[in-house]
């Protein structure tokens, strides 16, 4: 099995949880942000943000990370696997909270931090044909349709050119289903975010580092077991979302999700256990990673 995943890389959402929080791997995140924002981003440090991971179900459902760049701007990166109906409002809440959290009492308003909200969503958010959307705040004349500009003094004082640069900006990367040939650095990133694969021809910033540092075969057997469980959980979650959408049922949604999740997890855990057994992983480790009993693992 090892030879099969020699050149495979770890999926981005898992890497965010486990690997990209390490300063040595910041270049991967910097590459994504540089590609997306169109300017060189250097991450100074990661800050603590409230993860709201309330239960087991949420652990593979959402990942968020808060970075501060070299200009003191805040970048909130969130990966969401769940189909959350109020996700737009959640993005607004996230940026608003950062604006208020990161200004000290008594400081003047010009100390408000610039916030970028980068949302990598593995579900269909809203209704639109593109796979990357950018949102910013502009003020337009209702009679003249002109955009309200900063005065020369404000430009000089705040070191920005436009009013929109003072406000939070949002990026939504709708990565599901992007399997086409990547023709731009951003498309190369979207392809990796969706498939967990980096084409050998990819040259986008950060992807070369990802290819080197996020190799699947650098994982220990127990890490690999946990990773495969995560992938199975994602598949189950996605199947459940698709089933709900097709049936259009609001009633019994939670019950159906939990039941489907339990049945699917059991099957997925059995498959994982079989694979790990073939790899020669100790029965104790397999049982711990998959939640199966020693007897169940031995019978496989």
Helix extents (H) in 87-196: 87-101, 152-158, 185-195
Q: Which of 17, 18, 32, 24 is nearest to 193 (CA)?
A: 32
What's the order of all strands across the beta sheet hosting 62-69? 43-47, 62-69, 74-80, 115-121, 169-174, 132-135
The predicted pLDDT at position 166 comes to 97
The CA-atom distances, in angstroms, between 284 and each of 118, 218, 252, 277, 281 are 40, 21, 37, 11, 8
Q: Output the furthest CA–CA distance in the chain (Å, rounded).
A: 76
Q: CA 175, 199, 78: angle at the middle one, nearest 5?
A: 30
Cα gap 76→73, rounded to integer Å: 10
| Three-state SS at 259 | helix
List, in sequence order, every residue forming a beta bridge with 13; answer none if it has no partner.
none
CB of 260 closer than 8 Å to CB of 233: no
CB of 132 closer than 8 Å to CB of 190: yes
The predicted pLDDT at position 2 comes to 40
The predicted pLDDT at position 55 comes to 47
**pLDDT tens series, the chain, 300 aa:** 343 555 689 989 889 888 898 898 999 999 999 999 999 999 999 987 554 444 444 555 677 899 999 999 999 999 988 888 899 999 999 999 999 999 988 899 999 999 999 999 998 899 999 999 999 999 999 999 999 999 999 999 999 999 999 999 999 999 987 878 899 999 999 999 998 899 888 999 999 999 988 988 888 888 888 888 888 888 777 777 667 666 655 556 666 667 666 677 777 788 888 888 877 788 888 888 788 888 888 888
Q: Which of 216, 272, 273, 268 is nearest to 2 (CA)?
A: 216
What token pair was written down for 208? 């070369």
What token pair was written down for 13? 């959402």
The predicted pLDDT at position 276 comes to 84
List, in sequence order, every residue forming a beta bridge with 63; answer none if it has no partner.
79
The predicted pLDDT at position 1 comes to 38
């Amino acid at each position: 099995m090892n030879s099969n995943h020699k050149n495979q890389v770890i999926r981005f959402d898992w890497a965010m949880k486990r690997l990209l929080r390490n300063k040595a791997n910041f270049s991967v995140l910097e590459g994504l942000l540089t590609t997306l924002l169109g300017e060189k981003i250097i991450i100074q440090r990661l800050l603590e943000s409230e993860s709201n991971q309330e239960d087991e179900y949420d652990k593979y459902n959402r990942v968020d990370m808060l970075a501060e760049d070299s200009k003191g701007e805040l970048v909130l990166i969130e990966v969401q696997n769940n189909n959350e109906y109020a996700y737009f409002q959640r993005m607004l809440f996230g940026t608003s909270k950062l604006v208020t959290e990161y200004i000290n009492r008594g400081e003047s308003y010009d100390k408000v931090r610039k916030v970028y909200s980068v949302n990598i969503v593995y579900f269909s958010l809203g209704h639109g044909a593109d796979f990357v959307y950018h949102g910013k705040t502009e003020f337009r004349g209702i009679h003249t349709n002109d955009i309200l500009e900063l005065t020369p003094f404000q430009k000089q004082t705040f070191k920005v050119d436009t009013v929109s640069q003072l406000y939070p900006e949002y990026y939504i990367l709708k990565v599901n289903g992007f399997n086409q040939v990547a023709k731009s650095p951003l498309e190369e990133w979207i392809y990796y975010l969706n498939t967990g694969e980096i084409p050998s021809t990819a040259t986008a910033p950060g992807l070369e580092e990802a290819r080197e540092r996020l190799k699947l075969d650098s994982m220990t057997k127990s890490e690999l077991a946990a990773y495969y469980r995560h992938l199975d959980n994602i598949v189950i979650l996605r199947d459940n979302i698709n089933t709900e959408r097709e049936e259009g049922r609001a009633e019994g949604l939670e019950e159906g999700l939990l039941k489907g999740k339990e049945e699917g997890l059991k099957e997925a855990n059995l498959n994982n256990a079989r694979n790990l057994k073939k790899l020669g992983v100790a029965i104790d480790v397999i049982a711990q990673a998959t939640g199966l009993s020693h007897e169940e693992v031995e019978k496989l």
